[in-house]
Amino acid sequence: MSAILSQRFEEAVIFSLHLHADQKRKGSGIPYAAHLLAVTSLVIEDGGDEDLAIAAMLHDAVEDQGGLETLSKIRRIFGDRVAVIVDGCSDSYSIPKTPWRQRKERYLEHLLTANSDVLRVSLADKLHNSRSILSDLRGHGEKTWASFNGGKEGSLWYYRKLVDIFSNSDLSSPMVYEFASTVDAIKKLS
């Protein structure tokens, strides 16, 4: 199955690019839009429909750009299913955010009962993040971990837990294997 992308998807891309216009990726200075587009591409390539593609494009909007007010806008503009997926991919609604470890533990617990839509978008997000970490480790070594709130140990713990959750879910996706392989490569380099 391949996604049919309509003007609604184009509106989501524009909405997301406006929200994240000034945001950069940790440690690299790369415009955040690159991450959003990569996650969206992974979801589409994995057979996601238009709602999943839109949710992938907006997956960090609530967490990083306006909390529950932004979630309400997403629900109004793009519908309940997209809003539920975006909400399910968010680990925080406020700034300042709660402590990193607490947020991540709560998010991991949430993923254990999340539906397949949330799992697919979350997996695409984590796969792209892990690819970026692996690339940074290869290029910059251990100093890569300095830009992560969880540091090396916390980040490795978090990614190992994510591998367990995605591997034991009912989600049938080649991204599960690629994510596990990427996290293994990160562990070997660390």
List of domains in the chain: 7-189 (1.10.3210.10)
- The secondary structure of 90-112 as a DSSP string is -S--SSSPPPHHHHHHHHHHHHT
Is 63 annotated as catalytic? Answer: yes
**Catalytic-labelled residue, pool 51, 63, 125, 136:** 63
Contact 44, 36 (CB under 8 A): no
CB 88: neighbour CB atoms within 10 A? 20
pLDDT at 27: 67
**Tens-digit pLDDT string for the chain (190 aa):** 556 899 999 999 999 999 888 877 876 788 889 999 999 999 999 999 999 999 999 999 988 777 899 999 999 999 999 999 999 999 988 777 789 999 999 999 999 999 999 999 999 999 999 999 999 999 999 999 998 999 999 999 999 999 999 999 999 999 999 999 999 999 999 8
- Phi first, then psi: give them for residue 24, nearest 5 degrees: -120, 160
pLDDT at site 96: 78
pLDDT confidence of residue 3 = 64
Question: According to the model, what pLDDT value does residue 185 have?
Answer: 98
Q: Catalytic residue at 64?
A: yes
Query: Cα separation of 169 and 187, whole Å?
Result: 22
| Predicted TM-score of the model (pTM) | 0.94
pLDDT at residue 2, as a whole number: 56
Going by the DSSP 8-state scheme, the letter that residue 3 receives in this structure is P
Tell me, what DSSP letter sits at residue 148? -
- Cis upstream peptide for 31 (omega within 30°): no
